[in-house]
């Protein structure tokens, strides 16, 4: 109930009427329609959903395209390798004339790749080359080159080495392996040179092979590089490559020498040996040839036995072809001019 005044009238009712007459009430603005807001929200949600779906779908499409591209590239690479391999293989019934031509072409190609090829043993005279070649059996030329400076510094002549204390020589030659047997050989050949040849290294094959520890291979190294007399050096690299190239099927070094020698003029023999041996050490390795980096791949019947991918093959290259030092501490100037690096001395980091 409202409060009553002194005259008994209803005080609240009169007050409400005065307010109603004094300030007319303005009607409230109509509320915004709800439907359009809901519609906009749904559209926004749908747009966001589409964007999310697009982001999820895009990588899959890209990945699918990338996979397809990789498969196509792999097929093309395989096709090229197959074609190259088929092209590389000489005919099964290769004639003698065709063999001679192919062999000489390989030598010409290698001469362009290794124009600075040389014996990879350090030497200043025939005696040093003879001793170094004997020491190189079953070890690397690099190890020999790192060992001989101390040997030749202490025993510079055949007479000095012939009179040496075997135990002292053994200690110097220890890094070369088989140092006891090699000590006997170098002291023995030094005595023979002193007693039979006046302290001079003979320049004839028949005389060289009479020296202790000297066979035909060693003799031809000395004859070809110290005396300028042609000879074929049939070392392990030479044997492996000439069989890979199907120049011969022989396995005996003397027979290989005769078979390969018959394919070339005698004047080519020494340089041919260098080319083949250098290629065997740098590119055509025994276990994993770098076929993809080989300059004579189209002429090689064994193409594909090693790594054919060019990038992977490039990682298999050794010595100067792979950017590494060579085997000689004192290489010829032509080698240095071509970008070759000398090997470090024994004990260097």
Query: CA torsion, points 145, 151, 154, 160, in degrees to nearest 10?
Result: -120
Which of 349, 345, 298 is CA-nearest to residue 142?
A: 345
Radius of gyration of the chain (CA): 44
Q: Which of 182, 217, 271, 321 is catalytic?
A: 217
Cross-strand pairs, 4: 10
Q: What are phi and psi of 4, to 5 degrees?
A: -95, 145
Length of the chain: 349
Q: Is 295 exposed, middle or buried (0-12, 13-18, 19+ CB in 10 A)?
A: middle
Neighbours of 149 (CB within 10 A): 15
Retrieve residue 7's tokens.
């005259």
Q: Which of 235, 268, 271, 321 is catalytic?
A: 235
Determine the Cα–Cα distance for residues 329 and 339; give it in Å rounded to an integer: 14
Retrieve residue 152's tokens.
């030749």
DSSP string, 136-205: TTTS-HHHHHHHHHHHHHH--SHHHHHTS-HHHHHHHHGGGSSHHHHHHHHHHHHHHHHHHSTT---SSH
Query: CA torsion, points 127, 130, 131, 133, in degrees to nearest 10?
Result: 150
313-317-319 Cα angle (round to 5): 175
The interaxial angle of helices 166-173 and 179-196, nearest 10 deg, is 130
* 235 catalytically annotated: yes
* 80 catalytically annotated: no
Catalytic residues: 217, 235
């Amino acid at each position: 109930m409202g409060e009553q005044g002194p005259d008994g009238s209803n005080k609240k009712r009169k007050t409400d009427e005065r307010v109603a007459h004094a300030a007319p009430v303005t009607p409230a603005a109509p509320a915004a329609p709800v439907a359009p807001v809901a519609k906009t929200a749904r559209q926004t949600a749908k747009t966001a959903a589409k964007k999310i779906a697009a982001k999820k779908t895009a990588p899959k499409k890209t990945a699918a395209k990338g996979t397809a591209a990789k498969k196509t590239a792999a097929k093309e690479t395989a096709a090229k390798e197959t074609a190259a391999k088929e092209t590389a293989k000489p005919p099964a019934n290769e004639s003698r004339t065709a063999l001679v031509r192919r062999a000489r072409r390989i030598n010409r190609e290698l001469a362009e790749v290794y124009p600075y090829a040389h014996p990879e043993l350090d030497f200043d005279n025939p005696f040093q080359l003879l001793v170094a070649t004997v020491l190189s059996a079953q070890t690397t030329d690099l190890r020999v080159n790192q060992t001989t400076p101390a040997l030749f510094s202490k025993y510079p002549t055949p007479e000095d080495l012939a009179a040496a204390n075997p135990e002292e020589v053994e200690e110097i030659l220890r890094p070369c392996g088989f140092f006891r047997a090699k000590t006997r050989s170098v002291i023995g050949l030094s005595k023979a040179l002193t007693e039979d040849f006046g302290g001079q290294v003979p320049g004839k094959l028949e005389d060289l092979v009479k020296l202790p520890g000297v066979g035909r291979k060693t003799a031809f190294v000395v004859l070809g590089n110290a005396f300028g007399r042609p000879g074929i050096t049939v070392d392990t690299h030479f044997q492996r490559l000439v069989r890979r190239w199907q120049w011969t099927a022989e396995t005996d070094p003397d027979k290989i020498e005769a078979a390969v020698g018959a394919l070339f003029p005698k004047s080519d023999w020494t340089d041919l040996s260098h080319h083949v041996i250098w290629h065997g050490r740098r590119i055509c390795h025994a276990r994993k040839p770098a076929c993809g980096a080989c300059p004579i791949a189209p002429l090689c019947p064994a193409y594909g036995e090693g790594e054919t991918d060019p990038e992977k093959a490039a990682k298999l290259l050794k010595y100067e072809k792979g950017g590494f030092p060579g085997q000689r501490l004192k290489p010829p100037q032509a080698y240095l001019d071509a970008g070759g690096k000398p090997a470090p001395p024994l004990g260097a980091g």
